[in-house]
Amino acid sequence: MSDDKVVRVGSRKSQLALIQTNKVVAILQDLHPNTKFDIVSMSTTGDKILDKALSKIGEKNLFTKELELALEDGRVDMVVHSLKDLPSTLPKGMVIAAVCKRDDPHDAVVLHAKHAGKRLEDLPQDSVIGTSSLRRIAQLRRKYPHLKFKDVRGNLNTRLRKLDEDNVYSALILAKAGLERMGWKERISFVLDPSICMYAVSQGALAVEVRDDDLQIISLLSKLHDKETVLRCVCERSFLRQLEGGCSAPVAIHSVITDDKLTLTGAALSLDGSECIKSSMSTTIPNHQDTKKKESTMSKQYSCIVADSVSQDALQAAEVLGIELAKKLQNDGATEILRVARATIAREVEQTSQKRKAESDAKETSESACKYQAVHSTINKTQ
């Protein structure tokens, strides 16, 4: 890459997104001091619609679509994402060229000040927990049936302000990684153990998406890969893709690498948490520290990730593990559980859409009536 090359990096406009993008850009700048990196920020659909739960919006790629369009038409050369926001299948021509070292993927509880020192089991009957995640709600309902759950949207600042000031929520459930990146570690009351609430696929990991034919940019990003994170995320994403769960479905995951063994635990739940299909599998990771690549081989994608610096045999083993665990859950009944969940979500999306249309039509009718009255009032005054 020439010294005068400018690389345009796409990012969402939120404070957290820009913190994450600047973190990645800082690493790239150290690795490539003669290249200039310009951040191009923009709002996505998920950023703009804040009055309803993500699962009820009814669109895919809520936090990525606008960024991917900019990538496709060349306005940006790469996009930094929270990897959990990227669907398990990317648009044609897109690929993930870097997966950075994963921060703690677990969920954290932020209690209202009046409940300081308590655990979820200690909260009063019908205490309201703020979260828009179907995955979190389904798991926590199983463990804490005395609690109620309510959507809470907005950026982290807004959600924490709602907790502190609205006197509605007893606690919020948020990603530990996001709170720590914002510098709010002290707000964390405690972290949820995976035995209580497993995390979302790829939660805690940052990724960089690029055009699959931009070999120069792919090469530029290759050193960002963290091998263990890549293997775990390839495994998790292949699990989700096989289940056809989608970002909003109640699918939960937990993965760990110990020595040369990768263990994946996954679950599919009904929306109310009454049904849960859960299982674990392990595989041996061959030469997962090997960084050599055969020059004659073309780059291959694993769960839409290109990582030539990681052993291809290890990547293949990780991807297969995710698929095989998903197939086991499907055989155990996960397919039907998720089918019912998707159908319920689809009905809620349709109801929300119809309600929104009715409100829009009513507003338009009211505005037309006001204009009509204003016109006739003016006419009457001139007569």
266 and 325 in contact (C-beta within 8 Å)?
yes
Across-strand partners of 253? Answer: 199, 266
CA gap 322, 303 in Å, rounded: 10
CA gap 374, 368 in Å, rounded: 10
Phi/psi at 61 (nearest 5 deg)? Answer: 55, 45
Closest CA to 98 of 111, 110, 86, 116: 86
Alpha helices (runs of H) in the chain, residue ranges in sequence order: 15-31, 45-48, 65-72, 134-143, 156-165, 176-181, 215-221, 227-243, 312-329, 335-382
Q: What is the DSSP string of 234-279?
A: HHHHHHHHHHT--SSSSEEEEEEEETTEEEEEEEEE-TTSS-EEEE
CA gap 116, 255 in Å, rounded: 31
Q: What is the DSSP string of 42-98?
A: E--HHHH--SS-GGGT--S-TTTHHHHHHHHTTS-SEEEEEGGGS-SSPPTTEEEEE
Q: Which residues are catalytic?
A: 85
CA gap 353, 187 in Å, rounded: 36
User: Quick one: residue 303, left, alpha or beta (phi over 0 = left, psi -120 to 50 = alpha)?
Assistant: left
Phi/psi at 125 (nearest 5 deg)? Answer: -55, 135
